[in-house]
Amino acid sequence: MPVAAFPDLIPAIPEIYLAVSAMILLMLGVYSTGKQTVRTVSYLSTAALFFAIPLTVMVTDGRMVTFGGLFVTDSFAVYAKILVLVSAGAAIVMAQDYLERQDIARFEFPVLVVLASLGMLMMISANDLMSLYLGLELQSLALYVIASFQRDSIRSAEAGLKYFVLGALASGILLYGMSLIYGFAGTTNFDSLAEVFKAVNGTEPHLGVIVGIVFIIAGLAFKVSAVPFHMWTPDVYEGAPTPVTALFAVAPKIAAMALFARVLVGPFGDLAGEWQQIIIFISIASMALGAFAAINQNNIKRLMAYSSIGHMGYALIGLAAAGSAVSAEVRAAGIQGLLIYLAIYMFMNIGTFACILLMRRQGRMLEGIDDLAGLSKSNPVMAMVLAVFMFSMAGIPPLAGFFGKFYIFAAAIEADLFALAIIGVLASVVAAFYYLRIIKVMYFDSSEEEFDRPVSRDMKSILVITGVVVILFFIYPDPVLNGAELATSALFPQ
C-alpha cells in the first residue's frame, strides 16, 4: 500500500482502534487461565471504550470522508459517538457484579459489547447505503448473542431468538428499500443521492423511490423500537439479562436515531415532503403506545421497554421538525432538539437501570414493581435516586427530562407541527401516571423485606454521576446544548 494512502485512515482511527482492541481482548480471554481473566477483560474493555472518546474528538477536523466516500466523520458523528461509547462503557461496568452473581461471567461479554459499539460507530459515520448496512449488521450480530447470553435461562434464549428472527426480517426490509433506491437513483452514496434528488426540482419523485424510502424507514424504525415495529421490545427487555437490557435501551437507540437523522436529512433531505408524514405517524403511534401500554405492566423491565418506545416517539418529533419546509433554521432546531433529548435520555436510562440492578433480595434478582414497596424506609437513598429518575422521565421541572421535552416540543411548534406537539404533551401526562406509580409504591406501600446490601463502588459512581447530571442540568446545560448545536451544523452547513 502506498504511503500516501495512510492519511485516508485518519477519520476511521477510532473504529480501527476498537476493532484491534476487540481482537486483542479476545485473544487475551482465550489464552488466559487465571481466575481474574473475566474482570481483567471487562476493565480493559471499559478502558478501551472510554479511551475511544478523546480519540474520536482528536481525529475529527471538520467534515472528513474516506474509504471512497463510504465513511464520513464530522461534529455530528463525534457527538453521537460519545453518547454511544459512554453508554456501552457504563453497561459493562454495571454488568460485572450481576454476571458474577448469576454465574454467567465470561470474557466474551465485554468483547461483544466492544464489537457492537464498533458497529454503532460505523452506523453513525455511514455515508453510503452499503456502509450503513455493514455497520447495522455488525452491531446486530453482536447484540443477538448478548441477548441470549444467559444460556441456561429459557427467557433469555427466547429473547435472543425473537430478536434474531425479527431483526433478520427488518434487515431484509431495509435491504429491499436500499435496492429500490439504488435501482432508481443509480448510486448508493449519500452525497450522490443528495445531488440526484436535488435535481428533481420539486417535481414528484418516482414511486419506486418513495417505496424505497418507506422500506428504509421501516428497517430503521425496528432498530429504535418505533411503532409498529416495536413488537420485539417488551419480550427482549424482559428476557435478556438486566445489564443487557440496559445496553439495549440506550446505545443502539442512540446510534440508530443518529443514523435515522443522517439518512433522512442528508440524501433524502430534498424529499422531506415524502417522508415527514411517515415520521409524524410513527412518532404519534410510539408516544401513544408507550403511554397507554405501560400502565398495566407489573414487571419493571417491561415497563421500561414501553417507556423507551414512548421516548423514541418524542425523539422522532425532532426528526419530523427536521422535515419542515418553514426554513433551514427550523429544520436545524429539530435535529438539535433530537440530539439534546438523546443525551438526557442516556443519563436517565443508565441511572434507572442501575437502580433496577440493585433490586435483589438474598442474592435473587427482583423485577416486580411491587417489590419496591417500602424502599423509602429500608433504603431511603436508593428510593430518592430512583424517584429523581422517574420524575425526570415524566418531564417534571427543573429536572433534565423536562428540558429534553421542552426543546423537542419547541422545535415542533417552530415547524408548525402544533398537533404533534399537543399529542406529545398529552402523552407525557398519561405516561406520568406509571412513573408516579413507582414513586407511590416506594413511599406509600409497606414491606418487611429489604434489598441486599452493600452497593458496589462502581454502581455508586454511576448513580452519583447520572443523578447529578439529571438534577443539576438546568444550572449548567452548556456542554450538551453547545455540543448539539455544533453537531447540527454539520448536517446543515451554512
Percentage of the chain modeled with pLDDT above 90? 31
- CA distances (Å), origin 431, targets 66, 184, 222, 311, 355: 44, 43, 22, 10, 20
Say if residues 373 and 441 touch (Cβ distance below 8 Å).
yes
Q: Which 3 state secondary structure label does DSSP give 96?
A: helix
Measured between alpha carbons, how far is 427 from 492 in angstroms, rounded to an integer?
30
Answer positive or negative: Cα dihedral of 362, 368, 369, 370: negative
Measured between alpha carbons, how far is 109 from 115 in angstroms, rounded to an integer?
10
Looking at residues 155-177, what average pLDDT do you find?
A: 88
Nearest to 218 by CA among 180, 269, 270: 180
Terminal alpha carbon distance of the chain? 37
Nearest to 170 by CA among 203, 136, 123: 136
Q: Residue 1: its pLDDT value, please?
A: 41
Segment (H or E) for 277: helix 272-292
Looking at residues 191-207, what average pLDDT do you find?
A: 78
Q: How confident is the model at residue 7 (pLDDT cuts 50, 70, 90)?
A: very low
Q: Residue 268: its pLDDT value, please?
A: 86
* Residue pLDDT, tens place only, 102-116: 878 888 889 999 999
The per-residue DSSP string of 368-437 comes to BGGGGTTHHHH-HHHHHHHHHHHHHHHT-TTSHHHHHHHHHHHHHHHTT-HHHHHHHHHHHHHHHHHHHH
The cell 437513483 sits on which residue? 185
Q: Which 3 state secondary structure label does DSSP give 294?
A: coil
- State the cell numbers at 195: 445531488
Segment (H or E) for 73: strand 71-73
- CA distances (Å), origin 394, targets 118, 274, 372, 419: 32, 32, 18, 20
Of residues 335 and 203, the one with the higher pLDDT is 335
Q: Residue 18: its pLDDT value, please?
A: 92
The residue type of 413 is: I
Nearest to 13 by CA among 161, 118, 133, 147: 118
Measured between alpha carbons, how far is 332 from 488 in angstroms, rounded to an integer?
6
The cell 447529578 sits on which residue? 468
H-only helix segments in 102-153 = 108-124, 129-147
* Residue pLDDT, tens place only, 275-314: 889 999 999 999 999 899 888 888 888 899 999 999 999 9
- State the cell numbers at 199: 435535481
Residues 6+ apart with CB under 8 A from 263: 132, 190, 216, 220
Query: Looking at 289-376, which runs of residues are DSSP E strands?
Result: 360-361, 364-365
Give phi and psi for 325, each to the nearest 5. -100, 5
Percentage of the chain modeled with pLDDT above 70? 96
Q: Residue 105: its pLDDT value, please?
A: 80
Q: How confident is the model at residue 389 (pLDDT cuts 50, 70, 90)?
A: very high
Nearest to 233 by CA among 176, 297, 276, 178: 297
Q: Residue 494: its pLDDT value, please?
A: 60
Q: How confident is the model at residue 79 (pLDDT cuts 50, 70, 90)?
A: very high
Average pLDDT, the chain: 87
- In this prediction the pTM is 0.92
Helices (H) and strands (E) in the chain, counts: 19, 4
**Across 173-177, 219-223, 350-354, 360-364, least confident range:** 360-364
Tell which phi-psi region holds residue 71, choosing left (phi > 0), alpha (psi between -120 and 50) or beta. Answer: beta
What does the DSSP 8-state code read for residue 299? B
Say if residues 345 and 326 touch (Cβ distance below 8 Å).
no
